[in-house]
Amino acid sequence: MKEELDKRIQAFAECLYESKHPVVFTGAGISTESGLPDFRGPDGMWTRRDKGLPPRPMTEPWDSVEPNAGHHAIVDLQQLGKLAFLISQNVDNLHLKSGINPDLLAELHGNIAKLRCTRCGKKVDKSNDALTCECGGHLVRSVVDFGESLPEKDLMLSFEHSRKCDLFVVVGSSLVVTPAADMPAEALRSGARLIIINQGETPFDHHAHLRFHEDIGEVLPKALKRLKGFMGLFE
């Protein structure tokens, strides 16, 4: 079993090394190792809701939660020039906390730490306590509620990079919420390889070139270490 996982991690690292325009797509599953709940896992928020159970209580406030090894591995990809774009369904601010370049990030569902200008769309830190943007527009919460439209610029860039990529890596998403779940289909239509790291099943499992059900923290850091070896950056 360990040998088979090792072969998949080796193949993952080779895909990263060969890729010219890799895109990473993250869902709630990447943040569970930081102590945040996911949605569709065995004890996820929506799973508990469907069972008539309340959400699992948080042990600490959302804004005090820190990025984990999975988040830091994606930052390593950025530093190695192996991250063309990062698409996230998460609102927890952990990608920005970990050091991701905001210009390489689309947060499709907003961010609990950011406010959004209703006029120009600019995002500002919630901690600034500002009510209006520099352009004069009104600042509102950036988190997207059910039924609301996703941020236009983030959505446009996400589809654009999904079509341009040659490698699409899904990390911790069940890929059932649209339009975000349409993005791996766009990547596949463009001829990209698809890699999925998620404990639960997804509708794209039979299309994946590599499939990992293991913990994200077990897979991503090891793949990054192999990638660095390919690049001559031995630790």
Contact 12, 195 (CB under 8 A): yes
**Catalytic: which of 109, 138, 206, 209?**
109
Q: How many residues comprise the chain?
A: 235
Residue type (1 letter), 218: E
95: annotated active-site residue: no
Angstrom distance (rounded) from CA 61 to CA 165: 36
Q: 87 pairs with which residues across the strands?
A: 25, 106
Angstrom distance (rounded) from CA 193 to CA 84: 15
Q: In the block, which residue shows the tokens 């390919």?
A: 230
Angstrom distance (rounded) from CA 158 to CA 82: 17
Report which DSSP code applies to 9: H
Angstrom distance (rounded) from CA 21 to CA 81: 9
Angstrom distance (rounded) from CA 205 to CA 225: 25
Angle at 200 between CA 198 and CA 203, to 5 degrees: 90
Catalytic residues: 109
